[in-house]
């Protein structure tokens, strides 16, 4: 994430790790609130499966590794978003 600091500047207040970490946390908090508001505003379309219909089937060939070489832990992690691929 961008912290908005110009490291090349010689004048002004020195930048500390605490200041940078504070900005990173604020940026992460803002991003989280943004995502929650976006998903909440699209909830009806998501539930009705009307959102992104043009993407349907686009992940069909997204995994190139042979099925017998799939790591079960990885399959478990990606099955949330690719259940139609890993469970087929």
Question: H/E element holding 72?
Answer: helix 72-86
What is the sign, positive or negative, of the torsion defined by CA atoms of 29, 34, 35, 41?
positive
Predicted TM-score (pTM) of this structure: 0.47
Work out the mean pLDDT of the chain and round it to a whole number.
Answer: 83
pLDDT in tens, 27-66: 999 999 999 999 888 888 888 888 888 888 787 777 788 8
Which pLDDT band, with edges at 50, 70 and 90, does 9 fall under? low
C-alpha to C-alpha distance for 42 and 65, rounded to whole angstroms: 33
Q: What is the pLDDT of residue 4?
A: 57
């Amino acid at each position: 994430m961008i912290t908005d600091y110009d490291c090349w500047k010689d004048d002004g207040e020195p930048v500390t790790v605490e200041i940078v970490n504070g900005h990173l946390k604020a940026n992460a908090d803002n991003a989280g609130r943004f995502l929650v508001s976006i998903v909440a505003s699209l909830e009806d379309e998501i539930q009705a499966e009307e959102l992104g219909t043009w993407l349907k089937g686009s992940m069909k060939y997204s995994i190139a590794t042979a099925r017998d070489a799939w790591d079960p832990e990885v399959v478990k992690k990606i099955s949330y978003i690719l259940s139609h691929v890993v469970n087929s």
